[in-house]
């Protein structure tokens, strides 16, 4: 039997112009920081933006945005609260901050439920904070939401990039568009990630220097926009993202 919620999902997302997934092969590369900053920056540019935290392995955007006290409202589905000018939704509202892990099928079920019930309304951008890696949840999201553009975050580490390569190869097989790869927490001048990215035929979106202020900005959106991440993402939004929207 086909899950009736699946047909509801396209309807729920129909008034969203662009869906951008911030993704990483490995955890701990700053994916949630980049996703949150991207959403805040787009909103600061006058766009209508939603941020959707689907990283059930370690949901963090509610901590970064200090959104732990807000709650979505129920009204013919779930209406996301507005946090720092963003419509905000997290899997944490659904599964809670409990220690108990979700078994695979429960995770899929929670994702389908969340996608089916959330009322985003009209948005210019919906930014997804994806689960790390290329597991079931990523496949489910790609299958349930078509038209996702991927922005991939890596660090300079060879170990992180090895995993990115696998992810890129999977996304290519699935024919998903990739905006490019951004290198976070850079501490030296090495250009291996740039070269490797170009070898993959992808756009290298540049570096974000390692910045100790990022940790201090957790819970403070305004402060986050003034860190190395904030500055780089502003540049990226101006040069690549809003432009490509107009061009498209």
64 vs 233, which CB is nearer to a second copy? 64
Residue 175, Cβ neighbours under 10 Å: how many? 7
Three-state DSSP at 104 gives: helix
2 vs 159, which CB is nearer to a second copy? 159
CA angle 148, 244, 206 (to 5 degrees): 85
> Checking DSSP bridges between strand 49-53 and strand 123-129, what pairing results, if any?
parallel
CB of 145 to a second copy, least distance (A): 18
CB of 9 to a second copy, least distance (A): 21
CB of 92 to a second copy, least distance (A): 11
Nearest to 186 by CA among 194, 196, 197: 194
50 vs 156, which CB is nearer to a second copy? 156
CB of 50 to a second copy, least distance (A): 21
Residue 113, Cβ neighbours under 10 Å: how many? 15
**Cα separations (Å) of 63 from 118, 185, 221?**
21, 20, 11
168 vs 179, which CB is nearer to a second copy? 168
Give the binding site for a second copy (CB under 8 A): 25-29, 32, 57-58, 60, 63-64, 97-105, 132-136, 138-139, 155-160, 162-163, 165-170, 173, 187-188, 212, 215, 218
CB of 102 to a second copy, least distance (A): 8
CB of 104 to a second copy, least distance (A): 3
107 vs 118, which CB is nearer to a second copy? 107
CA angle 239, 237, 188 (to 5 degrees): 85
68 vs 238, which CB is nearer to a second copy? 68
Give alpha helix (H) positions in the chain.
4-12, 31-44, 61-64, 92-95, 104-117, 136-144, 158-173, 192-199, 213-216, 221-224, 228-236, 242-247
13 vs 30, which CB is nearer to a second copy? 30
CB of 142 to a second copy, least distance (A): 11
CA distance 238 to 98: 39
Nearest to 66 by CA among 218, 194, 179: 218
């Amino acid at each position: 039997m086909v899950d009736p919620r699946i047909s509801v999902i396209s309807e729920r997302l129909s008034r969203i112009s662009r869906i951008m997934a911030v993704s990483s092969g490995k955890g701990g590369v700053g994916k949630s920081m980049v996703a949150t900053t991207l959403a805040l920056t787009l909103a600061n540019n006058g766009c209508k933006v939603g941020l959707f935290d689907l990283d059930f392995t370690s949901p963090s955007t509610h901590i970064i945005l200090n959104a732990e006290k807000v709650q979505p409202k129920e009204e013919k589905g779930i209406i996301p609260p507005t946090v720092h000018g963003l419509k905000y939704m997290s899997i944490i509202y659904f599964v809670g901050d409990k220690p108990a892990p979700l078994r695979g099928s429960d995770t899929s079920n929670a994702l389908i439920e969340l996608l089916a019930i959330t009322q985003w309304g009209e948005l210019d951008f919906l930014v997804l904070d994806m689960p790390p890696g290329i597991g079931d949840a990523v496949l489910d999201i790609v299958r349930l939401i078509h038209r996702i553009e991927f922005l991939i975050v890596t660090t300079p580490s060879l170990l992180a990039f090895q995993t990115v390569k696998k992810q890129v190869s999977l996304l290519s097989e699935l024919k998903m568009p990739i905006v490019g790869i951004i290198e976070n927490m850079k501490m030296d001048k090495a250009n291996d990630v740039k070269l490797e990215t170009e070898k993959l035929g992808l756009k290298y979106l540049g570096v974000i220097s390692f910045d100790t202020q990022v940790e201090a900005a957790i819970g403070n959106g305004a402060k986050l926009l003034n860190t190395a991440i904030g500055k780089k993402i502003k540049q990226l939004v101006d040069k690549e993202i809003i432009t490509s929207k107009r061009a498209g």
